[in-house]
Structure 1
């Protein structure tokens, strides 16, 4: 049993070092024996023998305080599933229903039951298994869409009844079931399916069905042509002059599950942003990496000392790549550095749900229900979520999407090691600015001419502020608001210990005031 758990933990993070402490927690939880480290090594040796070092797999390697399982592309069923699912979605987007059905059928056919259902799962491993289940459900819904497009509504009804018995909150599947029933001639069954969906949503979440699902119900009730429009059998079969996916004279067969709200919550970025080229490249790489697939949530954990520019970096990058997230951008200041005003995950979720179009009166009161609703709304979206100024991992976890092509950027003074270990967040630690970057920041605020007139004073300011962006910004603000004061005089002030403390205290007060204003706005 322990060897199987160990193999599962390594297979879910292939070609990546998994820490020994994390593996021990996966095997024993909080009740680790005194011999846990020795036992772990024993289990690793047993797995190496079972896998056969030098065979088709390179085996398990000890590295950097943990272990790494080398897996080649396509060796896991999960890799084959993801590849087939991606090809199927591409075919759906190209209105090639036959190819989509073949690829998505191959993808769902790789599943032979629930993942690791016969193993005792600790929280970290259980979260990863839940993410796999969500990926499977999304593909099941895509497959239903392909079957509807091919004119096989009876197959859709058969598959989705079982799916909705196990996962009754999936509104996309309810809509597909209604369309399938209608196309088989069971109008009463289609209307009853809507009533079932409405009842379970009210009981479980306190919400009404999405407007699109309600409209579909109204269309079926009045026998409008939309639900019975013949979807596209393939790109070559669309009649000239007719939109693919519609019958002659019929309205487009639009999906009844698409969310309607498109939030744009990013605050204004710092206009004079300088430096951080390697950090920006790291965020770009995470966004562009193969990990950022249609069902994977990429997470960047940006950490660093107070005033180092974590928020400025996150917002600058977020605005720069905003177009890569067509379904919107969410932002919240968690106020993790404020000892008296830390924002709770429940309150943060309330704000997110309202931004996503959920009426305030319909937002669940329980944190778990809010998290479930939030993740359901983001599951089929491609969104950017910026969680600014987090205190710790516990404040963040409920705000992470469970699936969907989303990306999350978290900023914190804490290194968020738990998020890196359990949620595979990519760490990005900000250091101080270089002397050249510090000079460029001053120049962007004061102009090159003023700096050129007092190069010695500029060098003194750069050295005294030690590359801390917030301190440099405070100095620049003082110089900009007092244009007749020489930079040498401002540099001299910084050398006074008492005045330096006042300046840093003022900087901290300004930072907190900006955070409060950003949250209020």
Structure 2
């Protein structure tokens, strides 16, 4: 959001609502809660200094930690760097200044919404004095449009109120009253009403402001809402303060009632229509909502977002809010809609309409829009004789009846957009909640609907769900059983409800017995079967399954054979043996029926219990051969794509390409970046495929797939994944008597062992691997093992032995003409000579490696050469030369996508910079290294964190500079 009058720097501050900062139209992430609160406090004081003591009081009230002042200084430093990237350390910059009085923000009307609001308000008053009434009205509107909510969002950030925020909020309330009074005199109430609503919502105890809202609503002909507002205020005052409304608010209400009595068709004191000539008049307001669920649990964030969204529409009074809730069968869509409707119904005093559209009920035909409209019109007081027979005329009458009314509608269980669209009112005063198993994208595109897809409950909410239904004492007595039930129900509300009902019916059962029953079902739906077909999971899922075409139904069944957590279109195409285009079409059909969800772009997943249902079906409809062929195609997809991806990451691969499989579709990868992204996205799937192949006694297929993955594991630091995969395949190859597989997996397993420091195990496995490769006559593989043995010796600081291993590896690589292998071995050999103090030989070897790498045009090989040069320069004490080579190596490693190597270079670069006295460069290098490693659980993370912590300990934050 950018506002008029932005400063030339492109920076804009907002404090009239949650504190925000935009740079060139892009909102900045302001960081931690306390950091945002400091900025909000400084902005609310509009350039006036705020003492450090005041800041400490706002952040911690009366119990600040001993380090409070230092923490404030650190937050201020972080804010300065955020507002002005690249700002040198301990420099004030242009925005956030410090002096003897404290801190202050240097802002003006062009950069801060609060100051701009004050400017616009003064313009309005000046134009009123000058008789320029239209211009004054415009200025009032512009001033109020800047108010987004309570000052600084302090209500959410702070544990107590602070005078600076309260003063601004009071100022906004005064301005809203002033503008509303002026608008009433000019008969321009509608212009300020949305802003007046917004401010009044956040100042519910400001009776003068609420009185002005009543008068404005009445003047705009919205008597029903005005009466509802007064009733809500009166109830809150009585319930929370034990008092009646004040004189000003009572007088506004009496004036509202007297105006209502004079206006034909306006509401009476009870909130209903006093008189109306429309055919839809009725003395009874429709109240069709089903009862609210007594044990509704969770969905707090979804409720908060929805209520905020609806309030925004109500305050703006410009468009009718439509919320379409979708999700898989049993996820709780109807329960959510009913809960929201009951929370919101007081804001819709003209009634609530509800209809079950029966979009997925196999026992009944879907309700037509014409039938639904007839029911709604009847409920609104229109007799059958006055309802048009024409299906095209009914929506027009329906919209006419609802015009000017505030009605809440729940359209439950919709089949598609076409069933919903004729039921949408035309006026902005209504609210529509829709539920469907399908994601109603067309409703969003054409009607501006907001889409909300429900996910399973969180673990904590699922536990609370059971506790609220079964009883807190019973669940507290068996927490282990509760956790197992939650897990086996997949946190699906319907499954949890079925189990809770069983526990209530059999009050003598222990929860551990019920959990055992689910466990004995072995992942099938037998544990959720019941007499009530409306709550039987198989029946509920079948309602969606029966809507599928034959090809989509087959795809759904075959997806149960996929071993990973999610699946892509090419994998689906391979599984079903269809084209990529057809697989995409079938995926769309499955998504539309709620049996599949696109949880990430182009990645699809389904709930475990829906997968169990599909697994039952695949056993019924596909024979053993069909299932085996489908899985064979799926493995072919992963092996062929992994091989191609590995080839993009490096020019040499240790195994032959996998044999092609008919009807297999591979992922489209063109660059090393594509390969990295594919491997990262498929990480869990590949692990699952390897395990499934081992379970099916296909060790050769499993270890070959692991060889295609190991290069990425090394680049990304996935040491534990690598260890698990290689170790599992080694055991399988040994059991199968596969010596080639044993040799490769022994060498592969040594890689993470070296990185994790288990040098004894690495040396043992490499020795066994070398013996097997020698027996099999595989010379290149022997060269690779010699190089690895040399690396183990380097880690042990046995440099003479390392040189011997590296020279053996180099001789074999040169005899085979393997240039890439030569680069790696030469770099290792150069480093070993450098560690022995033979810097001339080491540098000559490093230059030779770099020359070959440049001829190959391989960035990662070039990076290795520069990194080796940097190490030798460091050994001989030339820190500046080492720093320059290390920078180049880090750049090339980043360019090649080798994050672990890049992070290692940056860590060493920081150490050299610190040795040269450049603390800023050291910090920058370590911060960048930590950013590269943050997503990993490897020892290198702790090393970088320790380096940064040591730097911080020796450079405590300084107090703010004086200006």
TM range (shorter): 0.5 to 0.7
Counterparts in 2 of 1:244-393, with a 5 A limit? 244-245=258-259, 252-255=262-265, 256=276, 259-260=281-282, 261-290=284-313, 293-339=316-362, 340-393=364-417
CA 1:472/1:244 → structure 2, altered by over 3 Å: closer, same or farther? Answer: closer
Tell me, in whole angstroms, the C-alpha distance in 2 between the residues paired with 1:415 and 1:241: 47
CA 1:507/1:277 → structure 2, altered by over 3 Å: closer, same or farther? Answer: farther
Deviations 1:252-306 (A, max 9, x none): 3423457435110000111101110011011101111146543521001111000
Contact 1:474 1:507 in 2 (8 A): no
- Which structure's CA Rg is the greater one? 2
Deviations 1:358-403 (A, max 9, x none): 1122211222211111111111011111111111111100001111
For residue 427 of structure 2, what is the aligned residue in structure 1? Answer: 403
Contact 2:295 2:468 in 1 (8 A): yes
For residue 430 of structure 1, what is the aligned residue in structure 2? Answer: 454
Tell me, yes or no, if structure 1 residue 464 matches structure 2 residue 474: no
Runs of 5+ consecutive residues of structure 1 not aligned to the other structure = 1-13, 16-53, 55-60, 62-72, 75-79, 108-141, 147-237, 516-521
Contact 1:383 1:407 in 2 (8 A): yes
Tell me, in whole angstroms, the C-alpha distance in 1 between the residues paired with 2:533 and 2:449: 31
How far is 1:498 from its partner?
7.9
CA 1:512/1:345 → structure 2, altered by over 3 Å: closer, same or farther? Answer: farther
Which has the larger helix fraction?
Answer: 2
How far is 1:341 from its partner?
2.3
Counterparts in 2 of 1:47-86, with a 5 A limit? none
2:440 maps to which of 378, 394, 416: 416
CA 1:424/1:470 → structure 2, altered by over 3 Å: closer, same or farther? Answer: same
Tell me, in whole angstroms, the C-alpha distance in 1 between the residues paired with 2:406 and 2:305: 20
Deviations 1:218-272 (A, max 9, x none): xxxxxxxxxxxxxxxxxxxx9x9997459xxxx7342345743511000011110
CA 1:484/1:395 → structure 2, altered by over 3 Å: closer, same or farther? Answer: same
How far is 1:99 from its partner?
2.9
Counterparts in 2 of 1:37-116, with a 5 A limit? 99-100=186-187
How far is 1:512 from its partner?
8.9
SS in 2 for 1:300: strand
SS in 2 for 1:327: coil
Tell me, in whole angstroms, the C-alpha distance in 1 between the residues paired with 2:508 and 2:527: 19
SS in 2 for 1:420: helix
Contact 2:289 2:352 in 1 (8 A): yes
SS in 2 for 1:297: coil
CA 1:98/1:280 → structure 2, altered by over 3 Å: closer, same or farther? Answer: same
CA 1:414/1:365 → structure 2, altered by over 3 Å: closer, same or farther? Answer: same
Tell me, in whole angstroms, the C-alpha distance in 1 between the residues paired with 2:498 and 2:482: 14
Counterparts in 2 of 1:143-222, with a 5 A limit? none
How far is 1:448 from its partner?
1.3
CA 1:398/1:331 → structure 2, altered by over 3 Å: closer, same or farther? Answer: same
For residue 510 of structure 2, what is the aligned residue in structure 1? Answer: 486
Deviations 1:378-437 (A, max 9, x none): 110111111111111111000011113111111111010101111111111100011111
Question: What root-mean-square deviation, in Å, do the aligned CA atoms of Structure 1 and Structure 2 show?
Answer: 4.8
SS in 1 for 2:525: helix
Tell me, in whole angstroms, the C-alpha distance in 2 between the residues paired with 1:283 and 1:300: 8
Q: TM-score, normalised by structure 1?
A: 0.52
Contact 1:336 1:391 in 2 (8 A): yes
Tell me, in whole angstroms, the C-alpha distance in 2 between the residues paired with 1:393 and 1:331: 17
For residue 226 of structure 1, what is the aligned residue in structure 2? Answer: none
SS in 2 for 1:321: helix
Contact 2:321 2:428 in 1 (8 A): no
For residue 269 of structure 2, what is the aligned residue in structure 1? Answer: none
For residue 662 of structure 2, what is the aligned residue in structure 1? Answer: none
How far is 1:506 from its partner?
3.7
Tell me, in whole angstroms, the C-alpha distance in 1 between the residues paired with 2:345 and 2:470: 29
SS in 2 for 1:431: coil
SS in 2 for 1:509: coil
Q: Greater relative contact order (Cα 8 A, min sep 6): structure 1 or 2?
A: 1
For residue 20 of structure 1, what is the aligned residue in structure 2? Answer: none
Task: Tell me how many residue pairs correspond in the alignment.
Answer: 319
Tell me, in whole angstroms, the C-alpha distance in 2 between the residues paired with 1:388 and 1:242: 37
Tell me, in whole angstroms, the C-alpha distance in 1 between the residues paired with 2:503 and 2:185: 67
How far is 1:494 from its partner?
1.3
Contact 1:378 1:404 in 2 (8 A): no
Contact 1:286 1:292 in 2 (8 A): no
How far is 1:511 from its partner?
4.2
Q: TM-score, normalised by structure 2?
A: 0.29
Contact 1:381 1:404 in 2 (8 A): no
